[in-house]
Amino acid sequence: MFELVSFILVFIEKSISFDYPYNFIAVPFLTYLVYRKGVEAFWGVLLLAFLVSMGSITMAAATLVGIFYYVVFYLLSTFMAYEKINLPLITAIQAVTYSGFVYYGSGIFSLGNFGKLVVAYAIFNYLYMDNGEKLFGVK
């Protein structure tokens, strides 16, 4: 049920129009899926890629980015736990790689947008790490 609420939040996030493709909820949720579900998260990553592609990019690009994140965080999960002590490192990896994808795709990079990504990713990663089921009141 918790994952369903998160997928709905990603859908709402992609329905709102921004001047920059932030994906505040999608990237931390993808990381949460990979760390908590492991190999079983692959289909959730594909569904997440479909929801993200509804915004402005193609399904193929969203799937490639989703698979990239899946592989990176699956490999990281083998030696780094999804706990609050690793929050700065996980947030930095997410923000740098996502900013790189956006810059490669559109040529847009701003230190202000990067700062927004870091703060938002840190908040949502913290919420997902802090037993997100309690946050949404569902199990």
Nearest to 72 by CA among 109, 98, 102, 50: 98
Q: Are 74 and 109 in contact (CB under 8 A)?
A: no
Q: What is the mean pLDDT of residues 11-27?
A: 78
pLDDT of residue 59: 79
pLDDT of residue 105: 75
123 vs 116: CA distance, rounded Å: 11
The confidence band for 20, taking pLDDT boundaries of 50, 70 and 90, is low
Per-residue model confidence as pLDDT tens digits over 66-109: 888 889 989 988 888 888 888 999 999 999 998 888 888 777 78
Report residue 139 CA to chain centroid gap: 21
